[in-house]
Structure 1
Amino acid sequence: MEHDVSPSPGAPAPMLSSADVARIAALLDRPVVLVGMMGVGKTTVGRRLAAMLGLPFVDADEEIERAAQMAIPEIFAQFGEPYFRDGERRVIARLLGDGADKDRKVLATGGGAFVDGETRRLILEKAVSVWLDSDVDTLVERVGRKDNRPLLREGNPREILTRLRAERQPHYAQAAIHVVSGQQPHAVTADRILRAIDSWL
């Protein structure tokens, strides 16, 4: 992991200027892929980030549901997680294309996508990978807003999230960039991601 961007104590840094954002967008030569736990805000932050960069935003889970013509909880219930991960890998590979400039977009992935070795290899090879991280309390608060997480239906959500976060951390840590998303506005998190991408490019 090359760039670790955590919230700094004290006064927040000023947001990037539109000129700086335009410069970063011009330098970006591949897709940006957000990875991390369910509930961390990948979709919401991803939409904001894509709007700032003037790029398309794609949610991998939505694309999986469109391809399968089924909701993700239904796929898990009917076919199981291995079947879902296989479909997820194929959809993400299609969305990344060859990773070239013409495939530039911001892509939000499901919480388990980057844990799959082949999917992780594709993302690391073809995209700027960003691990969006958060504490368990924030995750519990956010996932409680909607009941569409198959893996949380097997017990206590806090215990499951704590265990999954610990298990997945070594995989997430292989992402090129690590940004901590707390309770700050999504625009602030997107700004931190842009600063980290600027340093990484």
Structure 2
Amino acid sequence: MLDVLRAEIDQCDSILAEALGRRFLAAARMAAYKKECGMAVYQPEREAAVLNKLAANLKNQIYGAEIQELYQHIFQLSRRVQSRQVFSSNIVLIGFMGSGKTTLGRHLAKISGFTFYDVDRMIEQQTGQSIPNIFSMHGEKYFRAREREVIERLSTVEQAIISCGGGVVIEDANVTCLKQRGKLIWLKAEPATLLARLRHQHDRPLLKDKSLADIKSLLQERLRLYSAAADYEVTTDGKSISAIGDAILGLPFV
């Protein structure tokens, strides 16, 4: 009996593998068409319609919830297949603290299907300490060394959205590593916008108790570095995450 059930499962797996292969191939062809027509890879209305129809069809299916969960993952993989067809580079977000790199990075990862990496969070995981604790206990030099290690690890990843700390451009080696497989997008914002976003955050050791004048001063020191490192510049003042994401995915990546 067990052999019979295993044979049935193997047959189902074979059918699924062949069907998914055809689905992803169709998704890749669709991405090529979207690129040619200047259309967005991620079309949430279409996904929602398909999932709603699926839910209706599975209403009386005992494993309906599991099948819907599987389709959620299939959609994510399809976005990755399509994004790979459109974007040959990682998307690397740089910019001053408070420019929205982490929030935007998560948004871009969702709509592209690419993997999201947050450099500061990776440093915290590597050291077992928060960023403020690293600065207070070990100093900025120690932090930059850990940051450099993480950037070196990320130089080999593909199909990625990478959110960098505000000072990543201080070291030329970081920029060189990130450019190996990625396009660097500078998220620009006015000092007043940055201050408003950072006012209630307590994990920014270089900005602790800093005023608007302090932000302007530190930002001025880095403007040249951001400009030299960036492949593209995107202004974020007064724009929603969705609008900024659309602007980035509309850039002429090669």
TM-score (norm 2): 0.66
Q: Runs of at least 4 residues of structure 1 off by over 3 A?
A: 15-25
Determine if contact 1:24/1:194 at 8 Å carries over to the other structure.
no
Instruction: Give 1:169's aligned amino acid.
Output: L
Residue in structure 1 matched with residue 40 of structure 2 by the alignment: 17
Residue in structure 2 matched with residue 171 of structure 1 by the alignment: 225
- Give the one of 102, 105, 110 matched to 1:46: 105
Rg larger in structure: 2
Determine if contact 2:94/2:185 at 8 Å carries over to the other structure.
yes
Determine if contact 1:115/1:171 at 8 Å carries over to the other structure.
yes
DSSP 3-state at the match of 2:250: helix
Residue in structure 1 matched with residue 147 of structure 2 by the alignment: 88
Determine if contact 2:151/2:174 at 8 Å carries over to the other structure.
yes
| Cα RMSD, aligned residues only | 2.0
Task: Give yes or no for the alignment of 1:137 onto 2:171.
Answer: no
DSSP 3-state at the match of 2:88: coil
How far, CA to CA, are the matches of 1:40 and 1:113 in structure 2? 14
Q: Deviations over 1:38-59 (max 9, x none)?
A: 0000001111111111111111
Residue in structure 1 matched with residue 246 of structure 2 by the alignment: 191
What are structure 2's unaligned runs of at least 5 residues? 1-37, 44-78
Residue in structure 2 matched with residue 4 of structure 1 by the alignment: none
* TM-aligned CA distance change 1:25 to 1:183, over 3 Å: farther
Higher RCO structure (Cα 8 Å, ≥6 apart): 1
How far, CA to CA, are the matches of 2:104 and 2:42 in structure 1? 20
Determine if contact 1:76/1:150 at 8 Å carries over to the other structure.
yes
Residue in structure 2 matched with residue 7 of structure 1 by the alignment: none
Determine if contact 2:89/2:253 at 8 Å carries over to the other structure.
no
TM-score (norm 1): 0.83
Q: Deviations over 1:127-163 (max 9, x none)?
A: 111111111111000011211110012x533122111
* TM-aligned CA distance change 1:190 to 1:16, over 3 Å: farther
Higher helix share: 2
Task: Give yes or no for the alignment of 1:62 onto 2:121.
Answer: yes
Determine if contact 2:83/2:113 at 8 Å carries over to the other structure.
no
DSSP 3-state at the match of 2:162: strand
Instruction: Give 1:71's aligned amino acid.
Output: S
Instruction: Give 2:253's aligned amino acid.
Output: W
Bigger shift: residues 116-125 or 127-136 = 116-125
How far, CA to CA, are the matches of 1:25 and 1:129 in structure 2? 17
Aligned pair count reads 180
Instruction: Give 1:117's aligned amino acid.
Output: D
